[in-house]
C-alpha cells in the first residue's frame, strides 16, 4: 500500500491510499480520481513523499500473529487436557480444593471457577493453585 498526498486545482489537499504507484496512474488516466471536497478531476500528487509500508514490517507483523496463534493453540491443548483428565466442579472449586487438601484420603484432579480473592485465601492456607487462561476455540 502506498499513501499519496493529493492536491486539486482549487488547492484542496487530501490523502488517499493506492495499492501501488501504478494504480494511481491508472485511475488518473481514467479520470477516476477526484477531489473529495470539490469533486474536480484535476488532481495532482503533491510533493510530499509517499509513505510505504515496507515488506520487512509486514513480515514482522505476520510473525507475531503466528506466535499468538501458536500460544493459543497450546492453551487450547492444555484446556482439552484438563477437561479430559480433571473433574469440573464449577463454583464449588474452593470448597472442593479444601476438602481434598485437608482430607488426605481424597485424591482427585479437579478444575473450576475461582475468584482472585479466593485464590489468595487458599494460598494463605498453603494451597497453591495453577491457573491457566481459559480460551475459546471461537476466538481465533
Ligand atoms: Zn478540490
Which grid coordinates are listed for 137? 476455540
The candidate with the shortest Cα–Cα distance to 41, out of 78, 82, 6, 17, is: 6
pLDDT in tens, 87-132: 999 999 899 889 888 887 767 888 998 888 998 998 899 888 887 7
Cell match 470448597: residue? Answer: 95
Bridge-based pairing state of the strands 87-90 and 110-112: parallel
List the shell of residues around ion ligand 1, using CB closer than 5 Å: 8, 10, 12, 35, 37-38
Please tell me the distance between residue 139's alpha carbon and the centre of ligand 1 in angstroms: 44
Please tell me the distance between residue 21's alpha carbon and the centre of ligand 1 in angstroms: 21
pLDDT of residue 140: 47
pLDDT in tens, 64-95: 778 888 888 888 888 888 889 889 999 998 99
Dihedral of the CA atoms 138, 57, 46, 27 (nearest 10)? -60
Instruction: Between 85 and 46, name the one with better pLDDT.
Output: 85
If you average pLDDT over residues 15-33, what whole number do you get? 89
- Report pTM: 0.48
**Which of 37-41, 45-49, 50-54, 88-92 shows the highest mean pLDDT?**
37-41
If you average pLDDT over residues 29-56, what whole number do you get? 80
Dihedral of the CA atoms 6, 8, 12, 14 (nearest 10)? -20
- Contact residues for 42 (Cβ-Cβ < 8 A; gap 6+): 8, 9, 35
% of the chain at pLDDT higher than 70: 85
What integer best gives the mean pLDDT of the chain? 84
pLDDT of residue 58: 66
Please tell me the distance between residue 52's alpha carbon and the centre of ligand 1 in angstroms: 25
pLDDT of residue 137: 64
Please tell me the distance between residue 42's alpha carbon and the centre of ligand 1 in angstroms: 8
Amino acid at each position: 500500500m502506498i499513501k499519496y498526498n493529493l492536491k486539486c486545482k482549487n488547492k484542496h489537499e487530501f490523502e488517499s491510499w493506492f495499492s501501488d504507484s501504478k494504480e494511481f496512474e491508472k485511475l488518473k488516466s481514467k479520470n477516476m480520481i477526484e477531489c473529495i471536497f470539490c469533486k474536480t478531476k484535476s488532481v495532482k500528487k503533491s510533493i510530499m513523499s509517499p509513505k510505504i509500508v515496507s515488506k520487512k514490517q509486514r513480515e514482522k507483523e505476520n510473525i507475531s500473529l503466528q506466535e499468538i496463534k501458536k500460544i493459543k493453540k497450546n492453551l487450547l491443548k492444555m484446556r482439552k487436557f484438563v477437561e479430559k483428565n480433571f473433574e469440573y466442579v464449577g463454583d464449588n472449586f474452593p470448597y472442593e480444593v479444601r476438602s481434598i487438601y485437608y482430607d488426605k484420603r481424597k485424591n482427585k484432579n479437579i478444575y473450576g471457577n475461582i475468584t482472585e480473592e479466593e485464590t489468595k485465601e487458599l494460598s494463605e492456607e498453603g494451597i497453591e493453585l495453577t491457573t491457566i487462561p481459559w480460551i475459546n476455540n471461537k476466538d481465533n
